[in-house]
Amino acid sequence: MTIRVLLADDQALLRATFRILIESDPGMTVVAEAADGREAIDLTREHTPDVVLMDIRMPGTDGLAATTDICARPELAATRVLILTTFENDQNVAEALRAGASGFLGKDVGPDVLLTGIRTVAAGDSLLSPTATRALIGRFLATPDDRPLAPPEGLAVLTDREREVMALAAHGRSNADIAEHLVLSPLTVRSHIQRAMTKLHCRDRAQLVVIAYQSGLVRARPYEGG
């Protein structure tokens, strides 16, 4: 099944580069290009792509506002937003996560990383395991927010094992890492993650991680590298 991608970036040259790369993969196609957030919203509604590759810094309606709008629309529930960002400088990333973004890529990523990232979010997973993203989560996600996705008592609907798996996922561990740590199969871990997402009404794993921090299940800690 072909993954349909929408590109949202105000730099035409960068969009052209991404288009060439994405369409070099026989399993992907670019359905539209947007030069700002308002256009990204309109074209996403028109084409309902599987993945929106979204730059945050755009004129007019920026990528953050566009992400919030797209992820709030029930008719676009199957569309995933993959943020393009510079990990060290973009403090809007935490808000993009809260809004429903499924992950992040730096604009300087290699071709294989970009294509793998698109496949990952299209499959309903999120890009929360790379080192740079763990650093970002630790730096931003524990900041107070007036609109938490779930209060601490909301986690009462989860089993002890679901909370344990959720906490490990929030530290950036992959399903394979969690399975090894808890001596479970990766399929069992995935089932726990999916049940937790369902119970907490999460769009995807990214929002599950946000809830882990906002609810206090996981506390941000200084990033130690590695």
Residue 99 has pLDDT above 70, yes or no: yes
Summarize pLDDT for 207-217 with one digit per residue, the tens: 787 788 778 88
Q: What is the rounded CA–CA span in Å between residue 202 and residue 197?
A: 5
% of the chain with per-residue pLDDT over 90? 44
State how far the Cα of 8 lies from the Cα of 63, in Å rounded to an integer: 8
Q: Is 186 helix (H, G, I), strand (E, B) or coil?
A: helix
More confident position, 63 or 94: 63
Question: What pTM value is reported for the model?
Answer: 0.71
* Tens-digit pLDDT profile for residues 112-127: 989 998 998 898 777 6
Q: DSSP states of 152-175 as a string?
A: GGGGGGS-HHHHHHHHHHHTT--H
Please report the pLDDT score of residue 183 as a whole number. Answer: 94
103 forms beta bridges with: 82, 127
Q: Give residue-wise pLDDT tens across range 35-58.
A: 999 999 999 999 999 999 999 888
Percent of the chain residues past pLDDT 70, beyond the cut? 81
- Better pLDDT: 65 or 144: 65
